[in-house]
Amino acid sequence: METLTKTTWTIDNMHSEVQFKVKHLVISTVTGTFKSFEGSIETENDDFDGASASFSLDVNSIDTNVADRDAHLKSDDFFNAEKYPSITFNGTLNKVGGSYKLTGPMTIRDFTKEVTLDVDFGGTMVDGYGQTKAGFEITGKINRKEFGLMWNMVTEAGGVVVGDDVKLALNVQVTKN
């Protein structure tokens, strides 16, 4: 019986980023990042088809370039970072044509929902230190209200302050262990 060897790839934080975009007043977009995160991918073969991915980010590392807004996002109106300090995702990469889909449960606050994200695989490369790296661009959209992020305000003109859809954009480089 042949034993499959699993390979673990760990996120290289120096060469990765996690961004989100949400509409403000329906007319413009606010972009934010999470500065602190960790994760890994486990593969059983030479490509990433069927690989398991796990990811966690620190809600307190949110940065929208406005300290007051960041504090509001960390409050119970949104993420409640004190009670729920992490956002987690565990999924499986599946090859679909020339790209991948990453599907699995995402947990924000105490709400967990199945999410599917689009993944463009950038390829693998050996860096100047002899480490094998792989790169991915991950995009998708979630509805914040499905994760209990319900706060909003209606403007004088009848519009809402914060849009429901949140666009996710991750550029992730992983290092083969």
61-97 per-position pLDDT tens digit: 999 999 998 998 999 988 999 999 999 999 999 999 8
- 117-140 pLDDT per residue, tens: 999 999 999 999 999 999 999 999
Per the domain annotation, does 2 fall within a domain? no
Smallest CA-to-CA distance from 164 within 150, 141, 140, 143 is with 143
Two structure tokens written together for 159: 């519009």
Sign of the torsion formed by the C-alpha atoms of 169, 115, 165 and 148? negative
Residue 121 belongs to what domain range? 7-176
Residue 155 domain-assigned? yes
Looking at the DSSP assignment, which residues form a beta bridge with residue 91?
A: 53
Task: Read off the CATH number of the domain in which 169 is found.
Answer: 2.40.128.110
Residue whose C-alpha is closest to residue 139's, from 4, 18, 10, 5: 18
pLDDT for 53 beyond 70: yes
Predicted TM-score (pTM) of this structure: 0.89
